[in-house]
Amino acid sequence: MKLFNNVLVVTSLFLSASAFAHVGLGSSMPANGAMLSQAPTTLELTFTAPVRLVKLTMQDDKQQSVPLTLPSSATSQAAFSFALPALNAANYTVNWMIMGDDGHKMKGNMSFMLHDSGMNTRSAPPMTMEHETSEHTAHQ
């Protein structure tokens, strides 16, 4: 019975919804949830440990992608910097997928808002400010 219970608890872990602690995004520039009146010229992502960036996309709220060039994956690094083109006023979401030095996959997103500098008073739609590390898959 004890064995059965142990198996049950292990199985329930598969379905558990709480967050995992793994390498993730430590900070970013612009910060997650930032409301900016001046368009940033660079996007900086700093992870909690060296990682290889597998995928990175940046989109505005109309699903228009902002082109970003991924660095070579030859070595892992903690901080990444990307030059941004001239941005229009919009909500931007950055989706990242990384592989930590432990071989684990992690992904998550961060977002920021760029105001139209002349229209700072307009009511912007509420934006999600979650910074989630939603997935983590196995290594060997």
Which residue in 34, 36, 39, 49 binds another protein (CB under 8 A)?
A: 49
Q: What is the nearest approach in angstroms of another protein to the Cβ of residue 106?
A: 9
CA dihedral over 56, 62, 64, 66, signed as positive or negative: negative
Give the other-Cβ count within 10 Å of 117's Cβ: 11
Q: What is the nearest approach in angstroms of another protein to the Cβ of residue 54?
A: 6
Does 131 bind another protein (CB under 8 A)? Our answer is: no
Pick the piece of the chain touching another protein (CB under 8 A) from 27-35, 49-57, 77-85, 120-128: 49-57
Pick the piece of the chain touching another protein (CB under 8 A) from 39-47, 110-118, 119-127, 130-138: 130-138
SS3 content of the chain, % helix, strand, coil (to 5): 10, 45, 45
Residues from 6 through 35 that contact another protein (CB under 8 A): 6-7, 9-10, 13-18, 20-24
Gap between the Cα atoms of 2 and 5, Å rounded: 5
Give the other-Cβ count within 10 Å of 114's Cβ: 20
Which residue in 97, 115, 127, 131 binds another protein (CB under 8 A)?
A: 97
Closest CA to 101 of 60, 45, 139: 139
